[in-house]
Each structure stands twice: as structure tokens, then as C-alpha cells.
Homo-oligomer: A and B are copies of this chain.
Amino acid sequence: MPLNRVGYLGPQGTFSEEAALVYKKNTSRVLYEYSTIGAVIEAVSTGKIEEGLVPLENRLEGGVGATLDCLAGCEGIFIKEEMLYPISLCLMAEHKVRLEQINALLSHPHALGQCSEFVKTHLAGVECIPAESTGAAARNLVGQTGFAAIAPRRAAELFNLHLLREGIEDSKENATRFVIISRLDHPPTGNDKTSLVLTIPDQPGSLYRVLGCFARRRINLTRIESRPSRRIIGDWLFFIDCEGHRSDAHKDELWKEIAGEVTYFKLLGSYPRREEKAEVY
């Protein structure tokens, strides 16, 4: 059986680990923890591991800057799969306590923001302390009386914590889109998506002309997101997802036409379209 080493962003007890565990389930994949998204992507590009699972965008918060920057800047890696992972947050503490006994609440700022209704209603006045990750917040509870953390269910299991409440997120629709990166993308399946990144000249109508290349062929864009380029200040990167596989009939003409309108253009890969949410860990 071929080796299948999958890198993910640690620490344990985060949604990245939960999504990696769901991806690994019932396969021969072996998980490797890395401390940054850049390190995951570098390990894939240099061949230390076969695949990396990284967060690309959150439905409420938008794109994950570190992943987008790495995808735009790193050569020889492609997106080969996508996975829509539901974001379900839990309140946990070292011991079984009542909510009134909680004085301080630890979590990643995004997770605190995603539970703002619950916190306002049930934990008004409690001090909120930002942590580097939901996993770090849960780990830091050990030995802290009066402290609670907001983290995924997996964190309670890992650090032997008590689940005080489950599903405390404001929106039940929230999910993070993870992508699996590899040195090759996915062969066509008949129901695919293609991701690309480009920069445009600073002229009236330049983005309009790029979008025209898709519109004339009636190719739907499923996402367009802009982000400042870290290489050239004032330049913007546009991340575009479109329907279809990059090797579909007549797609070569499309890529050539786009390349003629832009200042930079890179295909990030084609992969099967997955709209439904993955199972929760």
C-alpha cells in the first residue's frame, strides 16, 4: 500500500485536527502535526509528506489569509480535494461547574466571536481571554479554577475536560472549507471545480475583462475573493473558483485568454465538487 502521510495544522483539539481525523477515518492515512499552515504546505512541496489538510475559508469569517498567501506563493502544489467541515463549538471546564461559577473564558478570538450570543446571554461580564487556538485554550484550563474554554468537542476528550454545553455557536450553518493539497490535483470526475489566483493591471475594466472570459462561456463562478498581495503593496490577488475541471474540452483556450488579460495567473488545481457538509468528528 502506498504511503499516505497527511499534515495538518496543530495543536490537537482544533477543528483542523477534527477534520483531519474525519479525513483519515477508515483509511491507511497517517497524520502529522505542524505548527503553521506554511510548514504544512512546505512539507508537501518538498515531498516529506504526500498531502496536507489546511483551512481555506470560513463561511462567516471569510478567507484564511495564511493559506491563501501560501497557495499563491508556493510552486508545485495543487488542491486535490475539498471538505466542508461543520463548526460546532462546546463550552468546557476542568470540573463540572455551574455557568455562574465561571469567571474567565478562553478561546481563539474567532471562536469567541462565533458564540457571541451565547456569551452575552449566559456569561455576561465574564472576562474573555484570547488564545492562539481553541486547542491551546482547552489545554490551558488544566489547574485553573473558575476558567472555561470554548473549543471543539475533541478538545474535551484530549484534555479530560467536562463538556458544560454543546453546540453554543450563533449560527448552525457555519462551516469551514478545508482543502487537501498535494503535488498533483484530482483527475476529472464529471462534477468538478477549479481554483485559480490572478492579479490584474490597474486600469478601468480590467477585472471586468477577466470575468468576461468566464461569462461568454457561461461558466459559473462559485467564489471570488480579493486579498492584498504581500509581494506588491497596492496590488490585489483575486482567488476565483469556477465550475468544471481545468482539463475539460476548450478550457485551454480559456486559460490562454485569461493569461492575456492579467499581470499574474496560476491554476491552483481541479477537484471533485463537494457541497454537502462532512460528518462531524
Residues of A within 8 A of B (CB): 57-62, 65, 109, 130-132, 171, 173-174, 203-205, 207-209, 211-212, 214-215, 218-221, 223-228, 230, 233-234, 236
**27 A-B pairs (CB sep. < 8 Å):** A58-B228, A59-B233, A60-B233, A62-B65, A62-B226, A62-B227, A109-B132, A130-B130, A130-B131, A173-B233, A204-B214, A204-B215, A204-B218, A204-B220, A204-B221, A205-B214, A205-B215, A205-B218, A207-B211, A207-B224, A208-B211, A208-B215, A211-B211, A223-B236, A224-B226, A224-B236, A226-B226
Contacts of A220 in B (CB 8 A): 203-204
- Let me know if B228 and A62 touch, CB within 8 A: yes
A172 to chain B, nearest CB (A): 10
CA separation between A224 and B57, bound complex, in Å? 18
Q: A173-B233, A208-B211 are in contact. List 20 more A-B contacts (CB 8 A).
A: A58-B228, A59-B228, A59-B233, A60-B233, A61-B228, A62-B227, A62-B228, A109-B109, A130-B131, A130-B132, A171-B233, A174-B233, A204-B219, A207-B224, A208-B208, A208-B212, A208-B214, A211-B211, A224-B226, A224-B236
Q: Mostly helix, strand, loop or mixed at chain A's interface?
A: mixed
Known A130-B132, A207-B221, A211-B207: A234·B59 in contact at CB below 8 Å: yes
Contacts of A227 in B (CB 8 A): 62
CA separation between A74 and B130, bound complex, in Å? 27
A190 to chain B, nearest CB (A): 19
